[in-house]
Chains A and B, each alone.
Chain A
Amino acid sequence: MSDAPSLIAKLWNYCSVLRDDGLSYQDYIEQLTYLLFLKMADELTKAPFNRPPLVPAGLDWQSLLDRDGDALEVHYRHILAELGRGPGTLGVIFRKAQNRIQDPAKLRRLVVDLIGQEFWMAMDADVKGDAYEGLLAKNAEDVKTGAGQYFTPRALIRAMVDVMRPEPGMTICDPACGTGGFFLAAHDFVARNYPLDPDQKHHLRFEAFRGREIVDNTARLCQMNLLLHGIGAPEVDTSITVADSLQSHPGEHFEMVLTNPPFGKKSAITVVGIGGDVEREDLTYVRDDFWATTSNKQLNFLQHVKTLLAINGRAAIVVPDNVLFEGGAGETVRRKLLHECDVHTLLRLPTGIFYAGGVKANVLFFDRKPASEIPWTKKLWIYDFRTNQHFTLKERPLRYEDLADFVRAYNPANRHARDESERFRVLTYEDLIARDKASLDVFWMRDESLEDSANLPPPEVIAAKIVEDLEAALSEFAQVAQRLAGRGQPDGTQNLRRPTQT
């Protein structure tokens, strides 16, 4: 049985072999996922598990081992197509699955030498989990594919979970779960900090997490990621649903929501095709449980998250800057949120930490409260972790230690006993609603990079800032342009999505 480092090395070695065939990290992880699942399902039918088969005979792992050459490749494609039709976990893993490995010899090596050599069900969750996560992280770095938007930096996730402090028995929802990072961190937090009785362990493994992900391929990676980390089981129905969260309310409420909704396509300049192609971003969701109707996806996710919470439920959501300052619907949503919920903490994130370039993001923490005439938000604590912070994905990546001061200042043990500091300031409800458009886009620290000081940073540092600001400007103008283009019809019609009538 391999240990973590040698397994990771093996997996990556095979990856480079296949990259020469033109497979991207994304393709590779996808194929690994299918084969892993088949192998794991196979192990479950044998000792010591001896479960009834999950995968129909003739479409299972053994049927792959029995074949070679072109017959293997043809059969593999057949398996992928067939299993994708099924329901449950099988369906999530194999929906719209496609083979990308053209060379049957390499496929056979993958089957026999790589996947076939290990006993995955018996393997330590840390080992296989870390290996898979490692591949996901590498995939995210490959910015061309845009896979990065589904991968929230793990240091940030850990910090968010450490301040949110999930408890045993809680059900946690992520309406844009990506590759499942928040679930893994929450699972880890509960398992590490609490002694769990058998019922609690069962709950943590099978009932604690509910995720939605709109992209089939990402959902399957999430499902496999969870399985490898010991969450759920291949034969148990999945807790990941492939769906558009914003379409309608799922019908249940949660005590905790942790999420990083997608920030939209990297190519922000997308032309709304003449007569065709309406981008998802153009869709406006009309829901009775929303405060404002808008095509701004992130504003909609914020509204949606609030509806997901049970009374006194708690949420932490990553939002881009425009959610904090945008006028119109944005102002309406902020004023309503401040009134109906206790919006208590805002973390301004630095640039250079996400895999999608130029993103200016924040984490908003709020609790849902019962209906009341008196506004629930009394104080908003803002932690400025952006001004004078310089991170890059390669040279200076974000580590958990960088967020340690935030976690300490947040004071999760008692968030009502906090102290102000250079980076941590409090504003009252009255301060906030008096601001123009109730904007939460607050900074007070002096940006050293804009000072005309005698100590100029080297040109490449300034150039990086210029690129950041240009990307920010580009993003804003592109959104505006898209809005103006999308409403170009003379009769003013555009796509309004209403919840489907039943």
Chain B
Amino acid sequence: MRESLPQGWISTKLGELVQPSREMVQARTNGGPYLGLEHIEPHTTRITGTADPSSIKGTGVRFKAGDTLYARLRPYLNKTCVPDFDGVASGEFIVFQAVEWLAPRFLMYFLHRPDVVAFANAKSTGTHRPRVKWDDFADLAVGLPPLAEQRRIVAAIEELFSRIDAGAEALNRVRRNLQRMYAAVLQAAVTGRLVPQNPEDEPAARFLAEADRRGGPYPLPTGWLWARIEELAEVQGGIQKQPKRRPGKNAYTFLRVANVLRRELDLGEVHMIELFSGELDRYRLKAGDLLVVEGNGSLDQIGRSALWQGEIDPCVHQNHLIRVRPGPALSPDYLDVFWNAPSTAAAIQAVASSTSGLYTLSTAKVRRVLVAVPPISEQQRINLEVSRQLSLIDAAERVIDEATRRARTLKAATLRYAFVGRLAPQDSSDEPAEALLDHIKTALLARESSARPRQRARR
């Protein structure tokens, strides 16, 4: 849809407004910092650093404070900026000198527009190092506003961008806090602070062989007690993969470490393994089993676990997965919550470390892990509440992701509106853009003719 230009604007081509400056100089001797592609942040117009020119061999393009720099290489990265210092830029940049008929940063935001970025990307050539040429740009249509309005447009863009950035940053903080909230919910659950205790619950001691007053890492509410996994659950290792285990007449599905992610299963690819007599009963998984990864040496993989809900039956598991089958005193969901609580994760890490510096668990180590056991009815209440809160956190995370995506679209919309004159007001007392045209023509001509003696006019 073509919109008519706002009052005071003229339609022109980019090549009629600016010309690249190709003043090549020795980076080392020119003076001023060196800007390489790596110093411009994609999509943000920010300069993140500079390089010491003395370390640069070869030539670059000279620029002055206020010039607009545009990266020709990989234009989809949308690297454009206006430095506030003089220096030398890599030859991968096109340098547009500042001109009096364009407001500061007007050209930069123009090149920053998503449709201009897409245009440049479409025109770029070269598979490994796609580049766009100035000649492709020169014909790009530009609606040129009056100079005073250009300044208002830039101000409006910067006002809105700074607010969008602030909003996006707040969303990032929310995302981080959602993750912490997740951990805090689990921690509250296993310390008795998520749901109230009910004095009429049958205390946990009811179900355990020895109701001994074992101590633990933190104080427990009434009715709870500490117990080791071996008192609460059956712990069993898995089947070691050997040549004799190649699937044959008696093959069964088995779970590998790769199938167990953090708190979820990936059953996209399941393998088969050969079992011998008596083994099926011993290794068969039941719904409610907790599968714990033994470890592969690195700290952050320790204690990785997931709950088995009986997705595939019959199914067995390999030896690097430890199977924990809760008895009557422990509900599987609560075990899953407890296992993932921050204090437990820390305890497991401590137990898993060894003198060699590697981290592994074993069935013996798992058996000895201390669990804070609430009364079974309280466990059910905890499970429900954890499930509820985690679903809220999940929903919130999805909303945040969506909002972040929309924030990016908001920036695109801002630019779109800005350059069709719908962001900043028109003012009929502005000198119309047309008045700039003659000035532009003479100025560009003067530039070319003065540039000629110094360098060959190169395209």
Which residue from A321, A462, A481 sits with its C-beta under 8 Å from B177? A462
On chain B, the residues within 8 Å of A481 by CB distance are 410
Q: Encode B128-158 as 1/0 by CB contact (under 8 A) with A.
A: 0000000000000000000000000011111
On chain B, the residues within 8 Å of A472 by CB distance are 166-167, 170
Which one of A153-161, A236-244, A363-371, A488-496 is at the interface?
Answer: A488-496
Which residue from B177, B193, B389 sits with its C-beta under 8 Å from A450? B177
Task: Say if the beta carbon of B413 comes within 8 Å of chain A.
Answer: yes
Which residue from A296, A328, A459, A469 sits with its C-beta under 8 Å from B154? A328
B342 & A484 in contact (Cβ 8 Å cutoff): no
Interface of B is mostly: helix
Task: Say if the beta carbon of A332 comes within 8 Å of chain B.
Answer: yes
Task: Say if the beta carbon of B123 comes within 8 Å of chain A.
Answer: no
B177 & A490 in contact (Cβ 8 Å cutoff): no
Question: How far, in Å, is B426 (CB) from chain A's closest CB?
Answer: 5
* A interface residues, how many (CB within 8 angstroms): 49
Task: Say if the beta carbon of B185 comes within 8 Å of chain A.
Answer: yes
Q: How many Cβ-Cβ contacts under 8 Å join chain A to chain B? A: 139
Q: Encode A414-437 as 1/0 by CB contact (under 8 A) with B.
A: 000000000000000000000001
Which residue from A294, A456, A476 sits with its C-beta under 8 Å from B184? A456
Which one of B94-102, B256-264, B414-422 is at the interface?
Answer: B414-422
Task: Say if the beta carbon of A454 comes within 8 Å of chain B.
Answer: yes
On chain B, the residues within 8 Å of A494 by CB distance are 425
On chain A, the residues within 8 Å of B414 by CB distance are 480, 484
Task: Say if the beta carbon of A457 comes within 8 Å of chain B.
Answer: yes
Known contacts A331-B158, A465-B177, A466-B396; A454/B342 CB under 8 A: yes
Known contacts A476-B164, A490-B422; A459/B157 CB under 8 A: no
Task: Say if the beta carbon of B51 comes within 8 Å of chain A.
Answer: no
CA distance A403 to B173 in the complex (A): 27
CA distance A459 to B160 in the complex (A): 34
Which residue from A322, A462, A474 sits with its C-beta under 8 Å from B181? A462
Known contacts A327-B158, A456-B183; A322/B177 CB under 8 A: no
Task: Say if the beta carbon of B18 comes within 8 Å of chain A.
Answer: no
A466 & B181 in contact (Cβ 8 Å cutoff): yes
Known contacts A458-B193, A459-B188, A477-B164; A450/B176 CB under 8 A: yes
* B interface residues, how many (CB within 8 angstroms): 49
Q: Encode A23-66 as 1/0 by CB contact (under 8 A) with B.
A: 00000000000000000000000000000000000000000000
CA distance A490 to B188 in the complex (A): 55
Which residue from A437, A456, A475, A492 sits with its C-beta under 8 Å from B162? A437
Q: Encode B379-422 as 1/0 by CB contact (under 8 A) with A.
A: 00000000001000000100000010001001001100100011
Task: Say if the beta carbon of A330 comes within 8 Å of chain B.
Answer: yes
On chain A, the residues within 8 Å of B423 by CB distance are 483-484, 487
On chain B, the residues within 8 Å of A496 by CB distance are 425
Known contacts A456-B184, A487-B417; A470/B163 CB under 8 A: no
Known contacts A458-B188, A459-B389, A472-B170; A328/B181 CB under 8 A: no
On chain A, the residues within 8 Å of B194 by CB distance are 459
Question: How far, in Å, is A263 (CB) from chain B's closest CB?
Answer: 15
On chain A, the residues within 8 Å of B421 by CB distance are 492
B159 & A327 in contact (Cβ 8 Å cutoff): yes
For window 437-456 of chain B, which residues contact chain A by CB distance below 8 Å? none
A487 & B422 in contact (Cβ 8 Å cutoff): yes
On chain B, the residues within 8 Å of A470 by CB distance are 170, 174
On chain B, the residues within 8 Å of A458 by CB distance are 184, 188, 193
B171 & A473 in contact (Cβ 8 Å cutoff): yes
Task: Say if the beta carbon of A133 comes within 8 Å of chain B.
Answer: no
On chain B, the residues within 8 Å of A326 by CB distance are 159, 162-163
Which residue from B159, B160, B181, B403 sits with its C-beta under 8 Å from A473? B403
Question: How far, in Å, is A319 (CB) from chain B's closest CB?
Answer: 14
Task: Say if the beta carbon of B187 comes within 8 Å of chain A.
Answer: yes
Known contacts A327-B158, A487-B422, A492-B422; A454/B346 CB under 8 A: yes
Task: Say if the beta carbon of B6 comes within 8 Å of chain A.
Answer: yes
CA distance A386 to B176 in the complex (A): 19
Question: How far, in Å, is B176 (CB) from chain A's closest CB?
Answer: 6
Task: Say if the beta carbon of B178 comes within 8 Å of chain A.
Answer: yes
Known contacts A466-B178, A473-B403; A480/B164 CB under 8 A: yes
Task: Say if the beta carbon of B119 comes within 8 Å of chain A.
Answer: no
For window 303-342 of chain B, which residues contact chain A by CB distance below 8 Å? 342
Task: Say if the beta carbon of A325 comes within 8 Å of chain B.
Answer: yes
Known contacts A331-B158, A494-B425; A456/B166 CB under 8 A: no
Name which residue of chain B comes closest to A470, CB basis. B174
Which residue from A328, A466, A469 sits with its C-beta under 8 Å from B157? A328
Question: How far, in Å, is A470 (CB) from chain B's closest CB?
Answer: 6
A477 & B407 in contact (Cβ 8 Å cutoff): yes
A459 & B181 in contact (Cβ 8 Å cutoff): yes
Name which residue of chain B comes closest to A296, CB basis. B159
A469 & B166 in contact (Cβ 8 Å cutoff): no
Q: Which of the listed residues B177, B184, B389 has the most CB atoms from chain A within 10 Å of its own CB?
A: B177
CA distance A25 to B315 in the complex (A): 67
On chain B, the residues within 8 Å of A489 by CB distance are 422
B174 & A466 in contact (Cβ 8 Å cutoff): yes
On chain B, the residues within 8 Å of A462 by CB distance are 177, 180-181, 184
For window 249-305 of chain A, which residues contact chain B by CB distance below 8 Å? 284, 292, 294, 296
On chain B, the residues within 8 Å of A98 by CB distance are none
Name which residue of chain B comes closest to A477, CB basis. B167
Question: How far, in Å, is B102 (CB) from chain A's closest CB?
Answer: 17
CA distance A202 to B303 in the complex (A): 77
30 A–B pairs (Cβ distance < 8 Å), ordered by A: A294-B159, A322-B163, A326-B162, A326-B163, A327-B155, A328-B159, A329-B155, A437-B158, A449-B177, A456-B187, A456-B342, A457-B184, A462-B177, A462-B184, A466-B178, A469-B171, A470-B174, A472-B167, A473-B174, A473-B403, A474-B167, A475-B167, A476-B166, A477-B163, A480-B167, A484-B410, A487-B424, A488-B422, A493-B425, A496-B425
Give the interface of A toward B (CB within 8 A): 284, 292, 294, 296, 321-322, 325-332, 437, 449-450, 452, 454, 456-459, 462-463, 465-466, 469-470, 472-477, 479-481, 483-484, 487-494, 496
- Those 10 A-B pairs whose CB atoms lie nearest each other, nearest first: A327-B158, A328-B159, A476-B167, A328-B155, A327-B162, A473-B170, A328-B158, A459-B184, A473-B167, A472-B170
